[in-house]
A and B are shown apart, each in its own frame.
Chain A
Amino acid sequence: MVTFWEVLERCGKGQRMQESDYDALLYKSVSKLIEKYDIKFDPGQIVPDDDSLADRAYEAAVELFEQVGFYCLDTKRVVRFSRSEIEERVALAPDTYTWGEGKDRGVTYSRKVEDLRDPSFVASGLGVPVPQDMFVKVCQAIASVPLADAFCGVSLQDTFRGIPIRAGHPVEVAAAIWDVSKRREAARLAGRPGLGLYAMISCAESTAAIIAAAREQFGALPADVTQNGAIAELKVDFARMNKVPWQTESGAGIAGLYGPLMGGYAGGPEGTMLTQIAHFFLGLFAFNADYHIPFPIDLHQVCNSTSPMLWLVSVYSQALARNTHLLNESVSMAAAGPATRMLFYELAAHAVTATVSGANLVAAGIARDKYPERVSTLEIQTASEVGHIVARMGMTRKEANPLVKALLSKYEKDVPDAPLGKKFSEIYDMEKVTPLPEYLKLYESIREELAKLGLNYSLL
């Protein structure tokens, strides 16, 4: 197997190329491959039930990664791998990962297309900025989502102790330590002290801060996970890879984080879908990833709830589920904000699409993951329930397609001007850390609506 050390050597020996030339090479390769493998987005088939399409997508992605590998920004070199090296690395990758400990333990595992087993579910508000004084309560609410196998809370807003948090600045280290300890406190307050952290720290980018904070004395559990993010598209640098020796030798969980941008260097939904799969290979080689967190985003709409994006989620997930046992933790990125019907619809559409396509679920990026305090829980809970119901019903892709289209018809036209919704403090009783009655009423009404669309809630 190609080891991390061999990868580092190739970072210094691969073909030297300017970054802009690599971007052009990617687009050229992707364009040829989508033609060669006859891959075309069909707006009528958001959840395609064509096994051949999924397999062609996988083959095309392997060929893409053979051709373009990944780009090392530090050495300006293309790091390539042969087909047999890719196949071997994929075959030897983990097919399960266990979060947390004790009775709060959660397991994620490799799912198949139309798998009858429940998807693993991560309750997340990662990316939504929340001020320090609300942080624990919001994380507690997220950790309380009943079906969550792991959680990650929210992101600490721009200051800590009144000082702006900046990567590489001393305050980043202090904020990261505080962040971990408060997430663990939030899990305790939610009555789930052993609930795993699928992403341990939100406010740290530098390796120094992450390593400083990821310690049991600050609340981290042995299986809590740190993330290594790729840079769009198919790029890495040593600042991200330098966590790997520490992660590997300490036994820390490693998550590869990949957010290809539809409309960007890989072109449209077809090319971005191939690039999404190729990022999984990047994660294995460059990060030693145990599991993978894909969050493809429409460059303009900054979400993945539109028709082309859900198609992309479905096809890449089917391709991986049919051809590998890689752990695919599919992240929903929504345009709308909390306590809007639209947010419930967006997350439900993603949950149906990803679950029947063989993915596990992470919910959610809310209100384009941008606006302070725009985070909520009952929509996340709905996504978890929908995923479980769909699997337990044995829903097929053919049955899922009209359901997803019905959901899309309720919100897709509103994506460009999606409602911002309410702030957490407007929909939660901040003393009890429970949803306010109006918000609960909305959740109940959405449940009724989804039941009318065919979801069997008695299976929960």
Chain B
Amino acid sequence: MDILKQMAEAVIAGDAEHCVSLAKQAMENNLDPVEVIQQGFSKGMDTVGGKFESGEMFLPEMMQAAEAMKGGVAVLKPAIESTGSGSLTEFGKAVLATIQGDMHDIGKNIVKLLLSTSGFEIIDLGKDVKVAVIIDKAEEIHADVIGVSALMTTTMGYMPELIQELQELGIKEELPVMVGGAPVTEEWAKEIGADGYAKDAVGAVRTAKGLAKK
């Protein structure tokens, strides 16, 4: 089996040690590290995401796969940085938060997991995050996308406030916002002026990539 397939399978198995040794082997064989990540580890993570979505894998297994991939990527990172041959975060920076008043962050954490293995640098502000804090951080780091989630109908009201604030500050165009969470619908997302919506974490990756590329 070629090494890229082995890398994908090591990620699917959540085998961190194997990911590290395969990454070292790739370096010894002078393989392009960016291609190794994209065609090896990331392919494995795509499969994991699909299996998670279809219920064949559970969140802890997906977390283990992501950790395994990060172990392998850490081996490749110095080579990428020294050669300038590409970027591990080609889609830029995503600021994520569970909105003010809401402590339920499992959805945001799943999105974080998938975005972090899909070419984004993640700035996770955690849960119960005030609108002003989200805006300040997104501005400070020149985020490419903001992602906010809510589980409660009583907290989703902060999402339109976030968007209105961005509009009033005149930075809405620079800082696209995607929203999600159990009570949030696509119609409502449009109504409040969100730039993107996803009903699940895999969809959130697609949405985030689309928004970050704009």
Could you list which residues of chain A lie within 8 angstroms of chain B, going by C-beta atoms? 23-24, 27, 73, 127, 129, 155-159, 164-169, 172, 202-206, 231-232, 237, 239, 261, 263-265, 267-268, 298-300, 302, 368-371
Task: Let me know if B58 and A267 touch, CB within 8 A.
Answer: yes
Task: Let me know if A168 and B100 touch, CB within 8 A.
Answer: yes
What's the least CB distance linking B183 to chain A, in Å? 6
What's the least CB distance linking A259 to chain B, in Å? 9
Task: Give A175's nearest chain B residue, CB to CB.
Answer: B154
Q: Which of B79-108 contact A (CB under 8 A)?
A: 100-104, 106
Task: Let me know if B101 and A263 touch, CB within 8 A.
Answer: no
Task: Let me know if B53 and A129 touch, CB within 8 A.
Answer: no
Specify the main secondary structure of chain B where it touches its partner. Answer: loop
Task: Let me know if A265 and B106 touch, CB within 8 A.
Answer: yes
Interchain residue pairs A-B with the least CB separation, the first 9: A167-B101, A164-B157, A166-B157, A27-B60, A205-B154, A267-B58, A167-B154, A264-B59, A167-B155
- Known: A129-B153, A164-B160; 19 extra A-B contacts, CB below 8 A, are A23-B60, A127-B183, A157-B153, A158-B156, A158-B157, A158-B188, A159-B157, A164-B157, A165-B154, A205-B152, A263-B55, A263-B59, A264-B106, A265-B60, A265-B106, A299-B59, A300-B54, A368-B182, A370-B185
Can you offer 8 A-B residue contacts whose CB atoms are under 8 A? Answer: A157-B153, A168-B101, A169-B157, A232-B106, A263-B55, A264-B59, A265-B60, A369-B183
A458 to B2 alpha-carbon distance, docked (Å): 68
A202 to B183 alpha-carbon distance, docked (Å): 13
What's the least CB distance linking A174 to chain B, in Å? 13
Q: Which of B138-157 contact A (CB under 8 A)?
A: 152-157
Task: Let me know if A302 and B182 touch, CB within 8 A.
Answer: yes
Task: Let me know if B152 and A167 touch, CB within 8 A.
Answer: yes
Q: A167-B100, A264-B106 are in contact. Are A300 and B55 (CB under 8 A)?
A: yes
Instruction: Give every chain A residue within 8 A of B53 (Cβ-Cβ).
Output: 300
What's the least CB distance linking B5 to chain A, in Å? 27
- Kindly supply a per-residue 1/0 record for chain B positions 111-153, scoring 1 wherever the CB is within 8 Å of any chain A CB and 0 otherwise: 0000000000000000000000000000000000000000011
What's the least CB distance linking A433 to chain B, in Å? 23
- The size class of the interface chain B forms with chain A is 20 to 34
- Kindly supply a per-residue 1/0 record for chain B positions 152-184, scoring 1 wherever the CB is within 8 Å of any chain A CB and 0 otherwise: 111111101100000000000000000000110
Q: A263-B58, A302-B182 are in contact. Are A231 and B153 (CB under 8 A)?
A: no
Kindly identify which residue among B101, B182, B183 contacts A206, using a CB–CB cutoff of 8 Å: B101
Interface residue B17 (Cβ < 8 Å from any Cβ of A): no
Kindly identify which residue among B52, B55, B154, B160 contacts A172, using a CB–CB cutoff of 8 Å: B154
Kindly identify which residue among B55, B102, B183 contacts A167, using a CB–CB cutoff of 8 Å: B102
Task: Let me know if B154 and A370 touch, CB within 8 A.
Answer: no
Q: Which of B43-77 contact A (CB under 8 A)?
A: 52-55, 58-61, 63
What's the least CB distance linking B50 to chain A, in Å? 12
Task: Let me know if A166 and B158 touch, CB within 8 A.
Answer: yes
Interface residue B200 (Cβ < 8 Å from any Cβ of A): yes
Q: A172-B154, A206-B101 are in contact. Are A369 and B182 (CB under 8 A)?
A: yes
A74 to B129 alpha-carbon distance, docked (Å): 15
Task: Give A201's nearest chain B residue, CB to CB.
Answer: B154
Task: Let me know if B155 and A166 touch, CB within 8 A.
Answer: yes
Task: Let me know if B103 and A231 touch, CB within 8 A.
Answer: yes
Instruction: Give every chain B residue within 8 A of A302 (Cβ-Cβ).
Output: 182
A237 to B54 alpha-carbon distance, docked (Å): 32
Task: Let me know if B58 and A264 touch, CB within 8 A.
Answer: yes
A129 to B33 alpha-carbon distance, docked (Å): 50
Task: Give B102's nearest chain A residue, CB to CB.
Answer: A167
Task: Let me know if A166 and B59 touch, CB within 8 A.
Answer: no
Instruction: Give every chain B residue within 8 A of A261 (Cβ-Cβ).
Output: 106
Q: Which of B190-214 contact A (CB under 8 A)?
A: 200
Task: Let me know if A155 and B60 touch, CB within 8 A.
Answer: no
A23 to B67 alpha-carbon distance, docked (Å): 14
Instruction: Give every chain A residue within 8 A of B182 (Cβ-Cβ).
Output: 302, 368-370
Task: Let me know if B154 and A204 touch, CB within 8 A.
Answer: yes
Kindly identify which residue among B60, B63, B103 contacts A237, using a CB–CB cutoff of 8 Å: B103
A158 to B53 alpha-carbon distance, docked (Å): 29
Q: A73-B103, A231-B103, A263-B55 are in contact. Are A205 and B155 (CB under 8 A)?
A: yes
A51 to B142 alpha-carbon distance, docked (Å): 59
A24 to B61 alpha-carbon distance, docked (Å): 10
Task: Let me know if A232 and B153 touch, CB within 8 A.
Answer: no
Task: Give B60's nearest chain A residue, CB to CB.
Answer: A27
Instruction: Give every chain B residue within 8 A of A371 (Cβ-Cβ).
Output: 185
Task: Let me know if B156 and A232 touch, CB within 8 A.
Answer: no
Task: Let me know if A268 and B58 touch, CB within 8 A.
Answer: yes
A167 to B131 alpha-carbon distance, docked (Å): 13
A156 to B152 alpha-carbon distance, docked (Å): 12
What's the least CB distance linking A67 to chain B, in Å? 16
Task: Let me know if B58 and A205 touch, CB within 8 A.
Answer: no
A432 to B182 alpha-carbon distance, docked (Å): 33
Instruction: Give every chain B residue within 8 A of A239 (Cβ-Cβ).
Output: 103
